[in-house]
Amino acid sequence: MKYYLVAGEASGDLHGANLMKALKALDTDANFRYFGGDLMKAEGGELVKHYADMAFMGFAEVVMNLGTILKNLKRCKDDISQYHPDVLILIDFPGFNLKIAEYAKSRGILVCYYISPKVWAWNQKRVLKIKRVVDHLFCILPFEVDFYKSWGMDIDYVGNPLLDAVDAFKPDTDFLKKHGLGNKKLVALLPGSRKQEISRLLPEMLSITEHFPDHQFVIAGAPSFDSSYYDQYLQGKNVPVIFSATYDILHHAEAAIVASGTATLETALFNVPQIVVYKGNPITIAIGRVVIKIGFISLVNLIMDKAVVKELIQQDCNTPNILAELNALLYNNTYRAAMLANYHQLHLKMGMPGASAKTATLIVKYAAKK
């Protein structure tokens, strides 16, 4: 069968790659074309557009880059029309992907949506559009099942694909030696994969490094950039940037400072105590405070429905607050133990690995029926 996938950011690239691997195991004639990234490219098929040219975060950023977004939408629609896949698989990235879903549905293409749009956070009436333009929706967060049911929508709950990725991880036994990290305990800095995130968050993360001489700080570099991009923020600091090794960094980390997003859940699954940080365009934040209907921004807190990890948002994301919180994570044993106990409960809620294989099985089944 012919599969067309659309992933617009680093996490989507990861989940898309794992899904492609699972589809190939079930369908020996699988043929792929996609918007995605390097991980998906490694699985074969044809990469049409890299997510590095697509990821714009926030209301204001979307408006400022509207021309580029519209060009990307047109290219995606035209490419789908020429390829005419048996199945369109959309991965998260709702602002873009719901428009692509509507287009594909109007042309009789089976539309599968993997990793539900976070409509429970704001503008919940978008569920009505999802019901109209998506044939099969695959959810990865436990609380989404009841949410969609309340709107009269049947969905497939497949578990979380991050469990697959973490379960498949094999630590590099030479990691520390290979990167000259010595014997100091590590603090992981995960400033995100978009320029806007990195430019706003990395300076704040780096501002506290001199206060912890007994720890080695390490930046998990985004695959869409190279080391020279990070030099503007480092200004001579002894903080290495390591690419394509986020899980190895987390495997060795004693604590982490993490940009809000998928990485917060990955960090928790590695049992690394963390601080969650976020800074956006002031206009975006102002609009968000009005329309967003959830009490937390990190996946850890959302899934647990309580404040498990500290969230430092906008003006609260500053040097004194990050410094105080990291001190607590590193040196307050009671505080660390409480967070780790909550992580244990999170693991129980998340369930077992297998989301990629389960989703692939359902997609192949639904495509065969069509």
In tens, the pLDDT along 306-353 reads 999 999 999 999 999 999 999 999 999 999 999 999 999 999 999 899
For residues 135 and 221, membership in a common domain is answered with no
Confidence of residue 285 (pLDDT cuts 50, 70, 90): low
For residues 206 and 343, membership in a common domain is answered with yes
Give the per-residue pLDDT at 121: 65
For residues 89 and 124, membership in a common domain is answered with yes
Give the per-residue pLDDT at 11: 85
User: What are the C-alpha distances in Å from 275 to residues 75, 102, 340?
Assistant: 39, 38, 13
For residues 343 and 359, membership in a common domain is answered with no
pLDDT above 60: residue 60: no
Give the per-residue pLDDT at 119: 80
Ranges 100-109, 114-123, 218-227, 264-273: which has the least confidence: 114-123
CATH number at residue 301: 3.40.50.2000
What would the mean pLDDT of 15-19 be, rounded to a whole number? 94
For residues 243 and 268, membership in a common domain is answered with yes
For residues 121 and 183, membership in a common domain is answered with no
Give the per-residue pLDDT at 53: 75
For residues 234 and 283, membership in a common domain is answered with yes
Give the per-residue pLDDT at 196: 87
Measure CA 30 to chain center: 25
What would the mean pLDDT of 123-132 be, rounded to a whole number? 87
Q: d(Cα 175, Cα 205) in Å, to the nearest integer?
A: 23
Q: In the predicted model, what is the mean pLDDT of the chain? A: 91
| Secondary structure letter of residue 27 according to DSSP | -
pLDDT above 80: residue 54: no
Give the per-residue pLDDT at 36: 96
DSSP output for 224-269: TS-HHHHHHHHTT-S--EEES-HHHHHHHEEEEEEESSHHHHHHHH
For residues 141 and 254, membership in a common domain is answered with no
Give the per-residue pLDDT at 282: 66
Give the per-residue pLDDT at 56: 54
Q: d(Cα 311, Cα 216) in Å, to the nearest integer?
A: 23
Give the per-residue pLDDT at 308: 98
Return the percent helix, strand and coil in the chain, to nearest 5: 50, 20, 30
Give the per-residue pLDDT at 103: 98
How many structural domains does the chain have?
2
Do 7 and 36 touch, CB atoms closer than 8 A?
yes
For residues 203 and 336, membership in a common domain is answered with yes
pLDDT in tens, 249-277: 999 999 999 999 889 999 999 999 999 99
What would the mean pLDDT of 48-70 be, rounded to a whole number? 70
User: What percentage of the chain has pLDDT greater than the value 70?
Assistant: 92
- CB contact set of 214 (below 8 Å; sequence gap of 6+): 184, 185
pLDDT above 70: residue 363: yes
pLDDT above 60: residue 58: no
Q: d(Cα 116, Cα 265) in Å, to the nearest integer?
A: 16
- Ramachandran quadrant class, 235 (left: phi over 0; alpha: psi -120 to 50; beta: rest): left
For residues 139 and 207, membership in a common domain is answered with no
Between 124 and 143, residue with greater pLDDT: 143
pLDDT above 80: residue 289: no
CA dihedral of residues 2, 168, 300, 197 (deg, nearest 10):
-70
Q: d(Cα 271, Cα 263) in Å, to the nearest integer?
A: 12
For residues 108 and 202, membership in a common domain is answered with no
Give the per-residue pLDDT at 95: 87
What would the mean pLDDT of 68-76 be, rounded to a whole number? 92
- Residue 127, domain extent: 2-159+354-369
pLDDT above 70: residue 288: no
Give the per-residue pLDDT at 143: 85
pLDDT above 50: residue 104: yes
For residues 91 and 37, membership in a common domain is answered with yes
Do 165 and 350 touch, CB atoms closer than 8 A?
no
Helices (H), 91-170: 94-106, 126-133, 144-150, 161-168
Give the per-residue pLDDT at 195: 87
Between 223 and 133, residue with greater pLDDT: 133
Give the per-residue pLDDT at 291: 47
